[in-house]
């Protein structure tokens, strides 16, 4: 998120946004093994250290910082108390609820939903401090850059299915959005859209590339550009309405 770079610096801003997208994507596809709440909280601790001192630890001691140090800083209360305590709760779920692995009794879907909401709230609070907008406006901005949570995209045996009655181009945008910012191999795209003509899918992929909505090729796969991400968000919002 470019809006966070002024507060956090470009590296931390990119790391935090990337961690949030991974959590959101895991919620959308219910692929719990890839969940990254621990990495998000570690990055958030680095963000707090950077805001407080201008520097941060390469490998921060999360429990020590959130439990003993952060509330004694001079940062705004929304960050040093509210956001820090939300992050500590997320880290507790990550450590104590075995959120990154399957259990016999799978409560992990609800655990991951909790950590997703916590990560979105923390990011919105940081965005609020970075831009001066209200929490409601910050939350709305967060919603626009995330993958959809719910039943729109489902993963079965490593193949993602888009549950929407849309043209091939829109289906491709939604599929690539669920993987964003990673590239997707053409073979994987064809498996996901196996109910479509393979020739049509390949042609629409080339169209996305020509229109600069996706970048890549048949060998390396395709990922959405910023314009493509915006187009995918528009498709998802239209379906939500």
Fold of the domain spanning 153-240: Arc Repressor Mutant, subunit A (1.10.10)
Q: Which residue has the tokens 């992050």?
A: 87
Tokens of 165: 């009655």
List the pLDDT tens digit at each of the 241 positions of the chain: 567 888 899 999 889 988 887 787 677 655 555 557 889 999 999 999 999 999 999 999 999 999 999 999 999 999 999 999 999 999 887 776 655 544 444 556 777 788 888 998 999 899 888 877 777 777 766 665 444 445 678 888 889 999 889 999 999 999 998 888 789 999 999 999 999 999 999 999 999 999 999 999 999 999 999 899 889 878 887 776 5
Which pLDDT value is given to residue 101?
45
Which pLDDT value is given to residue 135?
74
pTM (2 d.p.): 0.60
Which pLDDT value is given to residue 238?
79
Over residues 2-37, the pLDDT tens digits come to: 678 888 999 998 899 888 877 876 776 555 555 578
Which pLDDT value is given to residue 230?
84
In the 8-state DSSP scheme, what is residue 78? Answer: I
CA atoms 217, 220, 223, 225: torsion sign: negative
Q: Rounded distance, CA 63 to CA 61, Å?
A: 6
In the 8-state DSSP scheme, what is residue 101? Answer: S
Q: Which of 91, 95, 101, 78 is nearest to 31 (CA)?
A: 101
Maximum Cα–Cα distance across the chain? 61
Peptide bond into 18 cis (omega under 30): no
Q: Rounded distance, CA 60 to CA 58, Å?
A: 6
Q: Which pairs count as long-range contacts for 39-43, CB under 8 Å and 24+ apart, including other chains?
A: 40/16, 40/90, 40/115, 40/119, 41/66, 41/87, 41/90, 41/91, 41/94, 43/12, 43/15, 43/16, 43/19
Any residues with CB less than 8 A from the CB of 141 and at least 6 apart, and which?
A: 3, 124, 127, 133
Any residues with CB less than 8 A from the CB of 35 and at least 6 apart, and which?
A: 22, 23, 26, 99, 100, 108, 112, 115
Tokens of 11: 């590296």
Segments making up each domain of the chain, as ranges: 2-144, 153-240
């Amino acid at each position: 998120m470019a809006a966070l770079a002024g507060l956090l610096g470009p590296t931390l801003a990119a790391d935090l946004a990337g961690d949030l997208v991974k959590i959101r994507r895991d919620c959308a596809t219910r692929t719990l093994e890839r969940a990254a709440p621990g990495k998000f909280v570690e990055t958030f601790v680095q963000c707090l250290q950077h805001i407080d001192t201008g520097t941060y630890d390469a490998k921060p001691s999360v429990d020590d910082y959130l439990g003993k140090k952060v509330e004694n800083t001079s940062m705004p209360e929304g960050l040093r108390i509210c956001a820090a305590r939300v992050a500590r709760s997320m880290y507790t779920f990550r450590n104590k609820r075995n959120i990154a692995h399957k259990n016999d009794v799978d409560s992990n879907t609800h655990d991951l939903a909790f950590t997703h909401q916590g990560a979105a709230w923390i990011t919105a609070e940081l965005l609020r401090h970075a831009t001066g907008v209200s929490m409601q406006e910050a939350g709305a901005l967060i919603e626009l850059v995330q993958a959809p949570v719910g039943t729109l995209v489902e993963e079965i045996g490593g193949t993602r299915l888009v549950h929407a009655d849309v043209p091939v181009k829109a289906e491709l945008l939604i599929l690539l959005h669920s993987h964003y910012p990673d590239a997707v191999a053409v073979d994987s795209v064809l498996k996901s859209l196996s109910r479509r003509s393979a020739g049509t899918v390949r042609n629409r992929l080339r169209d996305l590339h020509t229109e600069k909505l996706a970048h890549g090729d048949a060998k390396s796969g395709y990922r959405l550009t910023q314009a493509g991400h915006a187009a995918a968000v528009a498709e998802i919002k239209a379906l939500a309405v």
